[in-house]
Amino acid sequence: MTNRSVALRRRAVKFAAIATAALLAAACGSNSGTGSDSAGAGEVGMVHYFSDEGGSKAMAKVLSICQAQSGQTIKNSPAEQEAFKDAILVQLAGSNPPDLFSYWAGAKTQYLVDQNRLAPLDDMWAKNGLDEAIPGSLTQAAATYNGKRYLVPIGYHYVGMFYNPEVMAKAGVTAPPKTWDELLAAADKLKAAGVTPFALGSKNRWPAQFWFDYLLLRTAGPDYRAQLMAGKAKYTDPQVAKAFELWKQLFDKKYFNDDPNGYDWTDAGDMVSSGKAAMTLMGTWISGYWDGNGVKAGERYDFFPFPEVAPGVPQAALGPVDGFAVAAGAGNPAGAEKVLACLASPEAQQAVALTQGALAPNPKADLSSQNEVMHRAAEEVGKAPVFAFNYDLATTPEMSDAGLNALARFVNDPAEAASVLAEAQSTADGVFSGS
Amino acid sequence: MTIRRTWWAWGFLALPILTYGITVVWPALYSFYHGFTDWKAVGGGDWTGTANFARMAQDPSFARALRNTLIWTVAGVVVPTVAGLALALGLNRITRFAKVIKSFFFLPLALSLVVVGQVWFWIYRPEDGLLNIVLGALGLDSWRHAWLSDPATALWAVMAAWGWQQVALAMVIFLAGLTTVPRELTEAAQVDGAGAWQRLRAVVLPALRPSFVVVISLNMINALKSFDIVYVMTGGGPFRQTETLAVLAYRVAFKTYDFGYGSAVSAVLFVVSAVIIGLFFAWNSWKDRHA
């Protein structure tokens, strides 16, 4: 090697080292910059999953109402629902969580509370008189965890048996079934008329849970189900086997459409509105879907509550509750709480309910312009002695993934009920062993 | 004359190496570390040693995902390679409208895997999907099937959709490789009386060795990392039957909030991929030295 090339090499090493150091400094410098980039004073970052057509319209109205009421600028970050479930974990795990974010009441919120990721809202709750705005039963079920308030409910849905009145009438079913036997009789008439009695689109797994939830609620009752969700009862218990047995009867008599796992819930909804099927067990959000497709409420769709199966069992109502929470490390918690207080107000809740096809927790929200199907759904919830969350919100995330999987396997082949439940229980043993 | 200006190269390489290190190497190492913890993203993170790996050995989901990944790798290398070669050989003989026809076969490559997944999801729909409609029209009603929700057919259906795009990739590479086959050799063989099949085996295939290496490596790598097309078409379903290791890692991390276990599965996927690809390249260089 010549002297010249050695000198050149030394210069190259120095050059590379300086370049690297400069880049590192720039990277580190900008990092600390973004660290404090959370909403400046007066700005509240809001992340939510109301991003579909109805949801975006609802949030646009809510934003204008709440920006005025709270005096804060709201940075709106909608995300698609399934993507949100993943993204929110990542955001909460980072050092810059969103100030305010939407979330589902029940086991999912309990999980975050147990990991200390949510800020308690008791002070804000008392200061803004939310005990008058949100009914006690909902506060107890949806807002309170480990004795403190963590979530402000903004809307909820009710799961009922939605049906096509024209198809039912043509098949000779004159009155909505009130008991299990009446339901089976109606299904028989529909089958004879060439209509699929029940449409189920469980491609994304969750629509099947409503059948499991209601059958268990109507036979073993809400108290037993709460035990099962908490891991204190077993999936191999006779009560669960009984619920699956009843469900299997429906499959054996071919009351469901072929291949439910191949269709989405909207496909099942289309089957009902087009007359190929008569009923689908779904939440009130399907009214938003049908309204958007021009299917007229009351005439071409209606609902009845899931019938009584075992007499004397409390007729619980089932459904998810959406709410908003404040992250524990939020940059602007004071501003977030102001916006939260607005979200509990009648105007904001009315905006969400009307455009989403949801029901409003705040009884003062003026929902008179909603269609009568929604009014009757709200009445049903009011009448119900207990409000229960659907399966994937009632039990821990780890168990719910395995449980939904088990339901999908059962729907695929109902003869496998016993092995499906045994597998679910073995997962449950692992999940709940720590508690 | 040797090039002594290597110091310029290091200067230019500094930024890409740094970026690669920060965005690929460091997160990968960080993820491998978490495979040994019970990290839950929003909590946990305590060292658990090999607990995750012990759990993996007992987990039927892991066994199925590993099996699916290996099946995919084998079938995903053999079928697209052979089909791509056949297509390339056939297209090579076309002279009229050659460019137009080759462009049609090239089109699947221009689509993202998510689009491919969505298109084939519609083709496979039980009631109104193209495949079942065509089968019905041909009178093959008994062949109509719920392709994506029947556990027996779901994985193969997804692999077929993925293979549709991979064949195009293989075809393109083989077409390029065929232009390098020495004309004098094929003509000499023809003069010597060699039939088409003999010409293929003795002249064309050996000349295509480098193309084979590229096609097989690309197919292998794409098969091992399959995630997007599975996620879009079945989400890993029906009830986890179409999960590959990548889909399993994602589900376990983001759906059951067990990021520690998910990281462990990703680490295993990395090792499996490294072993398979490493073996292939080792075999390849052995053949090079002993050819």
User: Which residue range is the domain that position B130 belongs to?
Assistant: 59-290
Which pLDDT band holds residue A434 (cuts at 50, 70, 90)?
low
pLDDT of residue A9: 64
CA distance readout (Å), A122 to A130, A150, A173, B21: 10, 8, 50, 46
Indicate whether A53 pLDDT > 80. Answer: no
Query: Most B CBs within 10 Å: which of A1, A6, A20, A89, as the mutation test of the B interface?
Result: A89
Instruction: Compare A96 and A183 and report the one with higher pLDDT.
Output: A183
Q: What is the DSSP string of B100-166?
A: HHHHHHHGGGGS-HHHHHHHHHHHT-TTT-HHHHHHHHTT-GGG---TTTSTTTHHHHHHHHHHHHH
Residues B77-87, mean pLDDT to the nearest whole number: 95
Of A16, A85, A402, the CB nearest to B14: A16
10 Å CB burial of residue A372 (0-12, 13-18, 19+) is exposed
Say if the Cβ atoms of A89 and B42 lie within 8 Å.
yes
Do the beta carbons of residue A133 and residue A362 sit within 8 Å? Answer: yes
Interface check for A51 against chain B (CB to CB < 8 A): the answer is no
Across the beta sheet with A321-326, the strand order is A73-78, A43-48, A100-104, A321-326, A152-156
Rounded Cα gap, residues A379 and A316, in angstroms: 13
Q: What is the DSSP string of B1-27?
A: ----THHHHHHHHHHHHHHHIIIIIHH
- Identify which of A153, A174, A156, A157 has the alpha carbon closest to the alpha carbon of residue A165: A174
Query: Most B CBs within 10 Å: which of A405, A416, A427, A431, as the mutation test of the B interface?
Result: A405
pLDDT of residue A371: 86
- Identify which of A208, A242, A240, A245 has the alpha carbon closest to the alpha carbon of residue A227: A240
Tell me: the pLDDT tens digits for A214-270?
Answer: 999 999 999 999 999 999 999 999 999 999 999 999 999 999 998 898 888 999 999
Q: Which residues of A touch B7 (CB under 8 A)?
A: 8-9, 11-13, 15-16
Do the beta carbons of residue A79 and residue A47 sit within 8 Å? Answer: yes
Residue B50 falls within a domain, yes or no? no
Indicate whether A28 pLDDT > 50. Answer: no
pLDDT of residue A15: 58
pLDDT of residue B202: 83
Tell me: the pLDDT tens digits for B172-211?
Answer: 999 999 988 888 888 888 888 888 888 888 888 888 999 9
Q: CB B68: neighbour CB atoms within 10 A?
A: 24
CATH of the domain at B231: 1.10.3720.10
Which pLDDT band holds residue A12 (cuts at 50, 70, 90)?
low
| A43-157+319-364 shares its CATH topology with A159-318+390-432 | yes
Rounded Cα gap, residues A229 and A208, in angstroms: 16
Indicate whether A34 pLDDT > 90. Answer: no
CATH of A159-318+390-432 given 3.40.50.10860, 3.40.50.300, 3.60.150.10, 3.40.190.10: 3.40.190.10
Of A13, A19, A398, the CB nearest to B258: A398
pLDDT of residue B247: 95
10 Å CB burial of residue A17 (0-12, 13-18, 19+) is exposed
Residues of B near A (Cβ–Cβ under 8 Å) read 4, 6-8, 10-11, 14-15, 18, 22, 40-43, 125-126, 146, 148-151, 235, 237-240, 251, 254-258
What architecture (CATH level 2) is domain A43-157+319-364? 3-Layer(aba) Sandwich (3.40)
Q: CB A300: neighbour CB atoms within 10 A?
A: 18
Which pLDDT band holds residue A18 (cuts at 50, 70, 90)?
low
Interface check for A276 against chain B (CB to CB < 8 A): the answer is no
pLDDT of residue B3: 57
Residue A412: CA count within 13 A, CB half-sphere: 24
Residues B240-255, mean pLDDT to the nearest whole number: 92
Residues B271-277, mean pLDDT to the nearest whole number: 93
Indicate whether B148 pLDDT > 80. Answer: yes
Indicate whether A13 pLDDT > 80. Answer: no
Interface check for A116 against chain B (CB to CB < 8 A): the answer is yes
Q: Where do we find the tokens 């689109």?
A: A201
The fraction of chain A above a pLDDT of 70, given in percent, is: 90
Of B7, B11, B148, the CB nearest to A262: B148
Residues B105-126, mean pLDDT to the nearest whole number: 92
Tell me: the pLDDT tens digits for A376-424?
Answer: 998 888 888 888 999 999 999 889 999 999 999 999 999 999 999 999 9
Q: Which amino acid is at B64?
A: R
Say if the Cβ atoms of A258 and B257 lie within 8 Å.
no
Residue A419, phi then psi, degrees to nearest 5? -70, -35
Residue B225 falls within a domain, yes or no? yes
Q: Which residues of B touch A8 (CB under 8 A)?
A: 4, 7
Tell me: the pLDDT tens digits for A347-389?
Answer: 999 988 887 778 998 888 888 888 889 999 988 888 888 889 9
Rounded Cα gap, residues A411 and A404, in angstroms: 10
List B70's β-bridge partners, or say none.
none
Do the beta carbons of residue A101 and residue A343 sit within 8 Å? Answer: no
Q: Which residues of B touch A409 (CB under 8 A)?
A: 238-239
Residues A141-162, mean pLDDT to the nearest whole number: 92
Q: Residue ranges of the domains in chain A? A: 43-157+319-364, 159-318+390-432
Residues A282-311, mean pLDDT to the nearest whole number: 91
pLDDT of residue B181: 87
Of A19, A259, A401, the CB nearest to B11: A19
Do the beta carbons of residue B187 and residue B49 sit within 8 Å? Answer: no
CA angle B262, B265, B266 (to 5 degrees): 90
Which pLDDT band holds residue A32 (cuts at 50, 70, 90)?
very low
Instruction: Compare A79 and B41 and report the one with higher pLDDT.
Output: A79
Which pLDDT band holds residue B94 (cuts at 50, 70, 90)?
confident
Residues A58-72, mean pLDDT to the nearest whole number: 89
A to B CB pairs, distance under 8 Å: 93
Find how far residue B187's CA is from the centre of its chain. Answer: 36
Residue B53 falls within a domain, yes or no? no
Chain B residue whose CA is closest to A264: B125
pLDDT of residue A431: 87
List A321's β-bridge partners, or say none.
A156
The fraction of chain B above a pLDDT of 90, given in percent, is: 59
Query: Most A CBs within 10 Å: which of B255, B258, B261, B263, as the mutation test of the A interface?
Result: B255
Rounded Cα gap, residues A350 and A435, in angstroms: 40
ipTM rounded to 2 decimals: 0.78
- Identify which of A334, A318, A319, A321 has the alpha carbon closest to the alpha carbon of residue A151: A321
Which pLDDT band holds residue A96 (cuts at 50, 70, 90)?
confident
CA angle A207, A208, A213 (to 5 degrees): 105
The fraction of chain A above a pLDDT of 90, given in percent, is: 53
Q: Where do we find the tokens 């209606």?
A: A302
pLDDT of residue A2: 59
Do the beta carbons of residue A279 and residue A199 sit within 8 Å? Answer: yes
Say if the Cβ atoms of B15 and A117 lie within 8 Å.
no
Interface check for A262 against chain B (CB to CB < 8 A): the answer is yes
Say if the Cβ atoms of A85 and B254 lie within 8 Å.
yes
